[in-house]
Structure 1
Amino acid sequence: MQENSDRPFVTELTTNSSIGYADEKREGDSSQQKQRQGATATGGPTTRWMQNNKKWILFGIAIIAAATAIPIILVIALRKPTEPPPSTIQKKQPEEHHPDFPPLPEDQFDNSAQANPYTPPLSEPFPYGKIPIRGINLGGWLVIEPFITPSLFDQFSKSDNVIDEHSLCKKLGPKEALRQIQEHYETFITEEDFAKIAKMGFNHVRIPMGHWAIEVTQDEPYVPHLSWEYLLRAIQWGRKYGLRIMVELHTAPGSQNGWNHSGRYGQIAFLNGVHGEENANRTLKIVETMIEFFNKPEWQDMVPIFGVLNEPAIFQLEKKRVEKWYEDSYDSIRNITGVNDGPYLTYHDGFIGLDSWNGFFDQNRYKRVILESHMYLMFDEGIVSLPREEQAQFPCHGWRAILNDSMKNAAPTMVGEFSIATNDCGKYLNGVGLGTRYENTLHKESSAKQLQCPTCTCENVENWKKWDKNYRHFLQSFLEHQIDSFETSSIGWFFWTYKTENHANPHWDYSLGWEQGWAPKDVNNITYKCEN
């Protein structure tokens, strides 16, 4: 998103019948035992010799047993495979690492599930361009964002300067960061959410990933690798409910845009600065590792789309360098998958306008490539100032025209993120401790554009319980006009985002809208459509 920004199952064996049998037979057993002891005492010479030397016989048996067992134990130990190093992704299935993970289906790679009647089962190719992508983002889950899970940041004072995942992990330290983040992974998104997403009518789920899922360096405080395990668990849930997954690299080492959702707020060190090339090369290696994994037959149907890199701030970088990185990454990926195989690859427009890519993605060279754009109303001070009726209709003429042109002149295009927010009042939306454009308090010392509205206030704007019927009607109209606009002018869309913690930012919280009625009960059937 653009900113200014079972426990183990144990079977217990009961012994009630054997206990009762012992009570009833105790007298008879005692008599039989005395008879056996008498027979031993009055036996022949061999029996008496064995009785007299019993402890030496037992000692010899113990030595023989030890001499036999030790080599066997050593052979077993030496043959046990070692664990793979933590820097690789060739790990065991998640439930083997984490006993709490639910068991996978008996057939772990059964792709017969179908999310809904409007989309084919996983075993069949998805007809991109014929059926729209109707997707939802799992933002703030495996890449933490302050405005989606504010409680992780509210635990600190302003002076702690905890503003992104990098500073969060650094402040907490390795052990506590692992504890808190794993608890977040475990509870924020569950299998129940995937069942609900399928019920909502979606056919795709976009999952943003941090580069630390694959590797971390000594100077990076992120919790390493753990999110990869949860990603695989999520993909298996998608398999169970017929939902295709778009895996997307949301962060680059050094940050590709300087915003907190890149993992680290501040300077851009991707293709920029002293370590710019180094970080870009490292990013490419991480992409290659992920592609090599998902190019395997058991994952290909589940991950038909891969986001190469989220929101590089090309408007602040040298465009030619980013274009070269796009070219190199495409060639590297297709060297792994084959030119006409592997997932569709999405490349973000970098906020320089979709028309800036006209002619770049030559379809004779770039196969199975999608140009991705993120469309947010609240970051444009002109549109934010429009009356609500015009805001609700804006996607039908403004964005639809831009997307139509991109589909014709650039590449197959999709909207990877959008929301129903019409201002930037959401808590921590622009960053921890930063202000808003809406109230003219955002970076007053910088060149960030402000709204010309002296009376605008964010007070109660996010208090969804006080939203009246008219405003809820507007939200439904605005949301569905966006959906229809994107479906009739691109190959589809992903809403940002599925949920926010305790509905902290309701304009960004699809699950709340679905529950409260301003989001459609089934995204395949909407009420408000653009006029032709």
Structure 2
Amino acid sequence: MSEPYMNGYDNDAARHFYPQHTPQAYAYTEKPAGAHAIHAKTQKRKNMILLIVGCAIILILAVILAIYFCVIKPVKDDGSKGSAASGSSSSANVARLIVGKDGDDITTSAGTTFTYRNKFGGFFVVDEANPFNDGAQAQSYTPPLNTSWKFGEDRIMGVNLGGWLVPEPFIAPQLYEPYLDNPDVNGDEWSLSIAMANDTANGGLSQLENHYKTFITEEDFAQIAAAGLNWIRLPVPFNAFGTIEGEPFLPNVAWNYTLKAFEWARKYGIRINLDLHTMPGSQNGLNHSGKKGYVAFASSVMGLANAQRGLDIIRRVTEFITQPEYKNLVPILSIINEPQGQDQQVMHAFYLEAYYMIRNITGTGEGNGPYIAVHDHFEPIANWANFLHGADRLILDSHPYFTFGGQDVQSIDRFPPLPCGTWGPQFNASRNTFGVTIAGEWSLGASDCGQYIWGLRDKPHTTNCDEYWNDYTKWTDDMKAKFLSLAKSHMDALGDFFFWTWKTGVSRNSPQGGTLVGAPCQWNYKLGLEQGWIPDDPRSSTGECARLNVVAQPDQYFKGTFESWQTGGLGAGTIAPTATAGIDVWPPPALATIGGLPADGWFNNNDNAGGMVPITGCTYPDSWNPGDVPPALCTGPAAADASASAASTPTARLPSAAVNRAHVVAKGIAQVHPPRPPPTVHAVARTNLESFPLLSPI
């Protein structure tokens, strides 16, 4: 018999709403024999117990009052509630521990103030003596950071911080619109960076850092927790870790703001899915990959070189977030966002190589490094059911959107039930076979309306955008209710999710004379929360598919638990031979178009091989454009010098302190685990690239 569709988290989520039944004590019809005989002794014993308990309570109250009046109250009395984040200290230079709750005031390091609101029982923590204190809790139903996250029991309810460190025109239109008259600016960061660098009168590339400073702030993190959300997905560009000659991006600076995100997320008890959103050469040719147009990551004659740079970035990030100070905060590493245009076997080989590399650093088993999220390469998620069966803590990430089908969508009316039948069974089937499966991105974009959705100059396929979709001030209550139902049905069907995105900026070309969010309001979680088409409690989405009468077969439910090896338990890391059958040893033949180049193991036993940059004196093709003419083999003094450098120069480690951070973290990057030799069958060719630090510590 068919039943209403429900995701595998329904029972767990229901616990948050319904009190558990408490059985009543048995009632005797008459007293047991001998009850009066023992009453006197029992009463004396009870009196003694009550006296002891009373003394203990008095002692506990004395300790609490001492802490309050000696530590917490002086902080509040000096007018700096929650302001330890600004780096100030008391007159006695006593490090303060502040545990803030709903209604407390916060002064940020930038000098702004706001009131912390959290109706879900969350609290923030500022610990001046230990800036890595993981005691904060986003909500009462979310485990604090210092408690392990249990996939299959705990539910990800998250949001992306899109457009912050990886700008996109529909999210941050104010960055692109000053250059609309420049035909070379096409909506990607490459062309934007060139235009900004030439615009010295307005600050050059510093305009981008000003965007970093202002678009997302500490208050956003507090508001995310207040919205009932417990995770963020943080898109980070590859240029946060350095650039090479010819790349116009602002280098390294985004890493400073990544560290700020770490600091703020820790303060408010929010976990992070760290998403490597762009890759050298562009992994998909879309405007959010760095450069629009061509795919030259793991494709074309420089595809292997670009992929090796990507692997190096993944390695350095892994070393950083596996440190004890960060492993609770960043439990997921998404190693590449939305690759497409590569041969399927090439991407399978890349994923396997990245997996081996990461687990060589972290070890295997629960608590040893992050979960590794791989994107579905825009293939049906059912195709991944047996991929790397037995791999330790691998996540499949899929991005279900209605927006990009090229259809003329005239109304929201038919959409609310669609996620339940379209994606719910697929995601549950993947959980039952592959393992942990998440929706790393989704939105309420039923149509493709909204400023710059397709890019800076491309037009939508929907023909009634201005009349129906774009101006939310004209939406009827019925229309808002249908958007709200669509939001809930997504959440219910997808289970573990990250909405794209938290906020979008105001476009000068938006409705009402540029005063509204012109980039699509259906993609703005914060705005939807304020206007009523996003639920003010994401847990209320539980059961929405059933309320919409979407039916599912019994075998379309998540079974409720993952296999032990899928979450780092027994058997984790023992990959079945059949699971790697057909996956090429890295580098795969499809990328081996450059013959006769020097090759050796990329990572040595101490994991100190250098980063990938061009060898001075050697000639290369354009690493951002495809081509089929291999370069001539680089020989002579330059190649010899490169080999010597590769043997002696370790990779530059990521700095652990951002410029102008509230507190300076002096600790460097230490190797968390003893070095582990890589599998000998996975040596990586260097392809004319020498070892050299890409990034110097701050």
For the aligned pair, the TM-score class normalised by the smaller chain equals: 0.7 to 0.9
Q: The residue matched to 2:168 in structure 1 has which SS?
A: coil
Tell me how far apart the structure 2 counterparts of residues 227 and 183 of structure 1 sit (CA, whole Å).
Answer: 11
Residues 292 and 524 of structure 1, relative CA distance in 2, 3 Å threshold: same
CA contact (8 A) 1:164 1:260 kept: yes
Residues 527 and 473 of structure 1, relative CA distance in 2, 3 Å threshold: farther
Alignment of structure 1 residues 4-403 onto 2, 5 Å: 105-106=127-128, 107-162=130-185, 163-173=187-197, 176-313=203-340, 316-340=341-365, 341-362=368-389, 364=390, 366-381=391-406, 385=409, 388-403=412-427
Amino acid at match of 1:126: W
User: Which deviates further from its counterpart, 511-520 or 397-406?
Assistant: 397-406
Which of 452, 455, 472 is the aligned partner of 1:431?
Answer: 455
* 1:116-140 deviation line (CA, Å, top 9, x unaligned): 0111110010111112111010000
Q: The residue matched to 1:111 in structure 2 has which SS?
A: coil
Q: The residue matched to 1:168 in structure 2 has which SS?
A: helix
Residues 372 and 230 of structure 1, relative CA distance in 2, 3 Å threshold: same
Residues 177 and 8 of structure 1, relative CA distance in 2, 3 Å threshold: farther
1:177 CA displacement: 4.0
Q: How many residues align?
A: 416
* 1:292-339 deviation line (CA, Å, top 9, x unaligned): 0111000000000110100001xx221101110000000001111112
Tell me how far apart the structure 1 counterparts of residues 288 and 470 of structure 2 sit (CA, whole Å).
Answer: 21
User: Which deviates further from its counterpart, 250-259 or 168-177?
Assistant: 168-177
1:389 CA displacement: 4.2
CA contact (8 A) 1:477 1:528 kept: no
Residues 298 and 527 of structure 1, relative CA distance in 2, 3 Å threshold: closer
Alignment of structure 1 residues 360-509 onto 2, 5 Å: 360-362=387-389, 364=390, 366-381=391-406, 385=409, 388-439=412-463, 456-459=464-467, 461-487=469-495, 492-502=496-506, 503-504=517-518, 505-509=520-524
Tell me how far apart the structure 2 counterparts of residues 410 and 184 of structure 1 sit (CA, whole Å).
Answer: 39
In structure 2, the residue matched to 1:525 is 540
CA contact (8 A) 2:197 2:204 kept: yes
Amino acid at match of 2:505: E
CA contact (8 A) 1:118 1:524 kept: no
Q: The residue matched to 1:207 in structure 2 has which SS?
A: strand
Tell me how far apart the structure 1 counterparts of residues 466 and 429 of structure 2 sit (CA, whole Å).
Answer: 36
1:235 CA displacement: 1.0
* 1:163-211 deviation line (CA, Å, top 9, x unaligned): 2111111111186343211111111111111111001111111100000
Greater share of residues in helix? 1
Q: The residue matched to 2:205 in structure 1 has which SS?
A: helix
1:288 CA displacement: 0.5
* 1:382-440 deviation line (CA, Å, top 9, x unaligned): 7x75964431001111111111222223332110000011111111111111112224x
* 1:215-265 deviation line (CA, Å, top 9, x unaligned): 111111111111111111111111111101111100000100000111111
User: Which deviates further from its counterpart, 134-143 or 403-412?
Assistant: 403-412
Tell me how far apart the structure 2 counterparts of residues 529 and 7 of structure 1 sit (CA, whole Å).
Answer: 43
Tell me how far apart the structure 2 counterparts of residues 121 and 359 of structure 1 sit (CA, whole Å).
Answer: 33
Residues 343 and 295 of structure 1, relative CA distance in 2, 3 Å threshold: same
Residues 515 and 293 of structure 1, relative CA distance in 2, 3 Å threshold: same
CA contact (8 A) 2:221 2:264 kept: yes
Tell me how far apart the structure 1 counterparts of residues 488 and 429 of structure 2 sit (CA, whole Å).
Answer: 21
Q: The residue matched to 2:416 in structure 1 has which SS?
A: helix
Q: The residue matched to 1:248 in structure 2 has which SS?
A: strand
In structure 1, the residue matched to 2:599 is none
1:458 CA displacement: 4.4
CA contact (8 A) 2:159 2:499 kept: yes
Amino acid at match of 1:529: E
Residues 104 and 118 of structure 1, relative CA distance in 2, 3 Å threshold: closer
Q: The residue matched to 1:414 in structure 2 has which SS?
A: strand
1:159 CA displacement: 3.6
Amino acid at match of 1:470: D
CA contact (8 A) 1:417 1:494 kept: yes
Tell me how far apart the structure 1 counterparts of residues 111 and 258 of structure 2 sit (CA, whole Å).
Answer: 12
Tell me how far apart the structure 2 counterparts of residues 405 and 185 of structure 1 sit (CA, whole Å).
Answer: 39
CA contact (8 A) 1:354 1:410 kept: no
Tell me how far apart the structure 1 counterparts of residues 477 and 212 of structure 2 sit (CA, whole Å).
Answer: 35
Amino acid at match of 2:471: N
1:460 CA displacement: 5.2
CA contact (8 A) 1:370 1:412 kept: yes
Amino acid at match of 2:497: W
* 1:246-292 deviation line (CA, Å, top 9, x unaligned): 11100000100000111111100011112111001100001101110
Residues 258 and 117 of structure 1, relative CA distance in 2, 3 Å threshold: same
Residues 277 and 389 of structure 1, relative CA distance in 2, 3 Å threshold: same
CA contact (8 A) 2:338 2:375 kept: yes
Q: The residue matched to 2:404 in structure 1 has which SS?
A: coil
Amino acid at match of 1:349: D
Amino acid at match of 2:245: Q
Amino acid at match of 1:499: K
Tell me how far apart the structure 2 counterparts of residues 182 and 148 of structure 1 sit (CA, whole Å).
Answer: 16
In structure 2, the residue matched to 1:85 is none
Amino acid at match of 1:526: S
Instruction: List runs of 5+ in structure 1 lacking aligned partners.
Output: 1-5, 12-98, 440-455
* 1:60-89 deviation line (CA, Å, top 9, x unaligned): xxxxxxxxxxxxxxxxxxxxxxxxxxxxxx
Q: The residue matched to 1:252 in structure 2 has which SS?
A: coil
Residues 210 and 104 of structure 1, relative CA distance in 2, 3 Å threshold: farther
In structure 2, the residue matched to 1:57 is none
The alignment-based identity, stated in percent, is: 38
1:459 CA displacement: 4.3
Residues 236 and 336 of structure 1, relative CA distance in 2, 3 Å threshold: same
Tell me how far apart the structure 2 counterparts of residues 433 and 523 of structure 1 sit (CA, whole Å).
Answer: 35
Tell me how far apart the structure 2 counterparts of residues 275 and 227 of structure 1 sit (CA, whole Å).
Answer: 25
CA contact (8 A) 2:450 2:465 kept: no
Tell me how far apart the structure 2 counterparts of residues 237 and 169 of structure 1 sit (CA, whole Å).
Answer: 28
Which of 496, 510, 515 is the aligned partner of 2:530?
Answer: 515
Amino acid at match of 1:464: Y
Amino acid at match of 1:525: S
